[in-house]
């Protein structure tokens, strides 16, 4: 297991200190701009997007979402499961390798809306209520996220043997890995399920905005792995769980304990509350991650945590901070996923800590956006030890098709009508009449009159002989 700390201390063990530069919101100047598309190549999926006189992005289409994304809204009482058609989002997400940009670009009626990451400290968002240009262009805010560095010391912690998974580490190198048939694999699509906790998800008004935000984050993470080969590592967002009221660990003010939180995530998963197929689960928190110390003290410099070499296992877990709408958790996200893929921290003569690659906490400039040769080699060695089943994308099919029953198969129509009508005193006089297609007539009979309301059938309800309703269609499914 690896902790990310906001410190600068070289360690040969996995629970360590971090000096990733932490971005945080403060009073910043915003530049109002009017982005415009200079060139579009639809067949190649490329855009040339001018933000201002200084910044022009050469955008390429990104692949970061599965076609049918599993979305779960989780409360203490229930889990609402749905699949989201991501085709519209997939058409809108782009990246620029030069600036390390990850943005959503939407075009409608000749106007363009851009939202996301421009570079390491510039963000862009549309100002939909702002005054448009003379040409009718939508104004945007181009704003800088200030970087503050926070260096402090923290006591070292020994890596407990049970946290070593099944890895063999010798002088920072991977050894004695059995070679599987996957050793010739060209691409490894890692399926990621993101859990947005109570303090994170509350900043998003609707599910689509949350999915869009997480897709931009995932896209930015992929840019850090752009140079990986044999196999090429790509991360696919396959599922999102929006946790409305569950706490993964004790909360004190805005702080949450790192160790307790990942244990809470492991318990949450073991209870079957993270659905669908995935290779790794990543918990994004809106709280400040901390470590409780003796005598009521705490160390507030922790940024994230992950279990080493656990992709495609039930212990494939990671966690990290993020400040919603600022994409501040991207580096932590990418770093922690590196650990789950078997990469340790850079600390060898070949890849020293001070070089500042992704798996170091030093800021190496452009190196911070890529893996060191040692990290690439470690990941390659670990991935080659995985079974071939791990490399299959299991989310190509709609998850709900694999559920044994749909809601309409477990609820009688009369009971459904009673619930729809609000369990009134007159509910005993409720009766059901068939309407056209996948609709029901729920009726209340009074002594002097009868009142009926039309309601959509639940998925799985019988609509005609031998037919059921599925997504509003009465057919043999």
Cα angle: 444, vertex 449, 452; to 5 degrees: 40
Q: Are 45 and 61 in contact (CB under 8 A)?
A: yes
Cα 339 from Cα 220, distance rounded (Å): 17
The answer for 466, left when phi > 0, alpha when psi is -120 to 50, beta otherwise, is: left
Q: In 140-276, which ranges are continuous DSSP H helix?
A: 198-201, 207-224, 258-270
| 336: annotated active-site residue | yes
Cα angle: 36, vertex 40, 43; to 5 degrees: 155
Flag whether 277 is marked binding.
Answer: no
Cα 215 from Cα 221, distance rounded (Å): 10
Cα 67 from Cα 237, distance rounded (Å): 10
- Which residue is it, tokens 């609509």? 463
Helix (H), strand (E) at residue 440: strand 439-445
- Which residue is it, tokens 């509910």? 427
Radius of gyration from C-alpha coordinates of the chain: 25
Q: Are 198 and 243 in contact (CB under 8 A)?
A: yes
Flag whether 345 is marked binding.
Answer: yes
Cα 7 from Cα 290, distance rounded (Å): 13
Give whole-number Cα distances, 468 to 319, 397, 398, 441, in Å: 41, 20, 18, 17
In 3D space, the residue among 446, 450, 440 whose CA is nearest the CA of residue 419 turns out to be 440
Structure token digits, residue 18: 């971090």
Identify the active-site residue in 113, 191, 336, 362: 336
Cα 375 from Cα 12, distance rounded (Å): 14
- Which residue is it, tokens 């996923």? 337
In 3D space, the residue among 336, 374, 368, 369 whose CA is nearest the CA of residue 355 turns out to be 368
Cβ count near 13 (within 10 Å): 13
Beta bridge pairs of residue 242:
73, 196
Cβ count near 155 (within 10 Å): 9
Flag whether 335 is marked binding.
Answer: yes
Catalytic residues: 336
Binding residues for Zn(2+) are 335, 339, 345
């Amino acid at each position: 297991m690896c902790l990310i700390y906001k410190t600068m201390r070289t360690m040969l063990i996995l629970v360590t200190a971090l000096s990733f530069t932490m971005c945080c919101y403060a009073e910043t100047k915003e530049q109002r701009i009017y982005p415009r598309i200079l060139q579009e190549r639809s067949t190649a999926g490329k855009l040339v997007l001018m933000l201002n006189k200084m910044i022009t992005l050469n955008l390429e289409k990104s692949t970061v979402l599965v076609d049918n994304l599993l979305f779960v809204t989780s409360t203490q009482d229930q889990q609402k499961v749905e699949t989201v058609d991501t085709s519209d989002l997939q058409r809108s997400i782009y990246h620029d390798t030069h600036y390390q940009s990850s943005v959503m670009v939407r075009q409608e009626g000749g106007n363009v809306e851009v939202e996301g990451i421009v570079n390491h400290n510039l963000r862009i968002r549309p100002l939909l209520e702002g005054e448009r240009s003379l040409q009718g262009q939508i104004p945007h805010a181009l704003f800088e996220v200030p970087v503050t560095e926070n260096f402090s010391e923290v006591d070292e912690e020994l890596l407990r043997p049970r946290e070593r998974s099944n890895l063999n580490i010798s002088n920072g190198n991977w050894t004695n890995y059995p070679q599987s048939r996957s050793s010739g694999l060209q691409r490894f699509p890692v399926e990621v399920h993101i859990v947005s906790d109570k303090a994170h998800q509350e900043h998003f008004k609707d599910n689509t905005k949350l999915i869009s935000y997480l897709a931009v984050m995932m896209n930015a993470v992929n840019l850090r792995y752009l140079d990986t080969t044999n196999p090429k590592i790509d991360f696919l967002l396959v599922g999102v769980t929006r946790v409305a009221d569950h706490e993964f660990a004790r909360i004190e003010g805005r702080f949450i304990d790192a160790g307790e939180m990942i244990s809470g995530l492991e318990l949450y998963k073991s209870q079957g509350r993270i659905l669908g197929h995935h290779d790794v689960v990543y918990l994004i928190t809106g709280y400040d991650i901390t470590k409780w110390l003796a005598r009521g003290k705490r160390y507030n410099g922790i940024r994230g945590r992950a279990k080493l070499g656990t992709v495609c296992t039930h212990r494939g877990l990671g966690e990290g901070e993020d400040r919603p709408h600022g994409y501040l958790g991207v580096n932590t996200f990418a770093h922690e996923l590196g650990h789950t893929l078997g990469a340790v921290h850079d600390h060898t003569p070949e890849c020293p800590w001070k070089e500042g690659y992704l798996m170091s906490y030093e800021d190496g400039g452009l190196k911070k956006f890529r893996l060191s040769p040692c990290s690439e080699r470690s990941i390659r060695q670990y991935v080659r030890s995985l079974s071939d089943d791990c490399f299959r994308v299991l989310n190509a099919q709609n998850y709900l098709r694999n559920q044994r029953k749909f809601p309409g198969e477990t609820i009688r129509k009369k009971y459904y009508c009673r619930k729809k009508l609000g369990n009134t005193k007159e509910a005993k006089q409720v009766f059901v009449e068939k309407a056209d297609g996948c609709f029901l007539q729920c009726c209340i009979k009074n002594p002097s009159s009868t009142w009926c309301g039309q309601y959509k059938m639940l998925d799985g309800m019988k609509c005609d002989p031998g037919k059921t309703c599925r997504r509003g269609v009465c057919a043999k499914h």
